[in-house]
Structure 1
């Protein structure tokens, strides 16, 4: 469904974020993207929804050349791609359900947005999304009364409410404690399997990447240095991705640091 064909990204300051990247990601895959800070992980996922334009090559999603999209067609395209950020991007002084309902704003007349008057079917969809991530009971609680993990689940529910085919997550558990991070990753995995949504996660926690993802893409200095099953990742492969630097992989994970 997602195809990179010799894709490069050069920033205005001359920095090369991606270098001749070629890969394909099928519908329903759970992919973890790992590498050092500045290696190109965020650049890779943000080119998929055109947050970043590519400089060279071709990037197609479901047969559509992403670079050709403009205006209304680009907005419609982005509706099919959910984006989860580390910072949650929630309105903390209002309720959980109102935050989830904001996913429908691009499709609503201005007067409904102004008055906060959402159609009944949108409210039902929002409640269903909250149920899928296990916080339906928090629907009418203010966001600033929730824990960090609960707030990330609100952000996940907001994305689900727009019915995406693809979900991109940029360090979604970086700000969470280990127990809560696993709970959120459980949500991603369940959504991936039950709803056949493609999930691409840019993640620093290598142990979580190996535990939850079916496929791992390792990036170093803008280039793909590993692309394969998570179960086949070895210490030598991690050394190649991370240039031999300490990566903090837990010892019990496939004995990768022994």
Structure 2
């Protein structure tokens, strides 16, 4: 469980990233966080794994008071929280499997780290993670030979190999074309349902948020202005979250999703 209690985040330059946020997310939920650029979406996400420290309030993740973590405690805490970035953060000249196994380096003995030697159990776990996202056949291909969508799936497999309870995804499909974005979102949804992993995802595409997430959290100027099931999202709520900015494109995005859902059903 993730629980924000009256959490605020103020940056050194005085910018308010979060303001009096109260939010509770249960294990296994798929939550999409939407809002304008600079609204506080990434700040909210990065406070969960202590990439950002909160300024006030209390943040608890799986019973752990995040604000009290220090040193090695932070590393152990983050081992159960996967983080996926828009830029993928992959080593392009290394194989797909090599990139996946990088997340296991902190758990290796010193000599294995020095020589880059992974135990057979780690390699099996890495191959299983690649199979889970449908790119097992690319295990020994260099990352720079993959498409953008395949690279994002490598990033997802790298997260899965650590057996996380939570996956945080910061604009994971922003750089992908619509067809590839849908494939990646399919992966997120399947992993959420089959593995009961909580997924918090920042996303600019309202249509994808409504189509895939179970719950929508809308942020405006650091404050939560909407928190509810996707079925409750209306155009009026979208306009409230975005304050009318880009409303024409947002309005157009909701109708095709609804039609697609009916066809798929």
Q: Return the TM-score normalized by structure 1.
A: 0.97
User: How far 1:231 moved relative to its partner?
Assistant: 1.1
Say how many residue pairs are matched.
255
For 2:62 and 2:256, the matched residues in 1 are separated by 38
Residue 254 (structure 2) pairs with residue 253 (structure 1):
no
- Please show how residues 173-192 of structure 1 align to structure 2 within 5 Å: 173-192=173-192
For 1:183 and 1:252, the matched residues in 2 are separated by 17
Residue 136 (structure 2) pairs with residue 136 (structure 1):
yes
For 1:109 and 1:236, the matched residues in 2 are separated by 55
**SS of residue matched to 1:217:** strand
Question: Cα RMSD (Å) of the superposition?
Answer: 0.9
For 2:12 and 2:111, the matched residues in 1 are separated by 39
User: How far 1:254 moved relative to its partner?
Assistant: 4.0
Alignment-derived partner of residue 160 in structure 2: 160
Residue 83 (structure 2) pairs with residue 79 (structure 1):
no
- Please show how residues 1-258 of structure 1 align to structure 2 within 5 Å: 1-247=1-247, 248-249=249-250, 250=253, 251-254=255-258
User: How far 1:153 moved relative to its partner?
Assistant: 0.2
User: How far 1:67 moved relative to its partner?
Assistant: 0.4
For 2:133 and 2:93, the matched residues in 1 are separated by 21
Deviations 1:3-47 (A, max 9, x none): 000000000000000000001000000000000000000000100
Q: Which runs of 5+ in 1 are unaligned?
A: none
For 2:207 and 2:91, the matched residues in 1 are separated by 31
**SS of residue matched to 1:253:** helix
**SS of residue matched to 2:84:** strand
User: How far 1:63 moved relative to its partner?
Assistant: 1.0
Q: Pick the structure with more helix per residue.
A: 2
Q: Return the TM-score normalized by structure 2.
A: 0.95
Deviations 1:156-215 (A, max 9, x none): 000000110000000000000000000000000000000000000000000000000000
Runs of 4+ in 1 over 3 A off after TM superposition: none
**SS of residue matched to 2:256:** coil
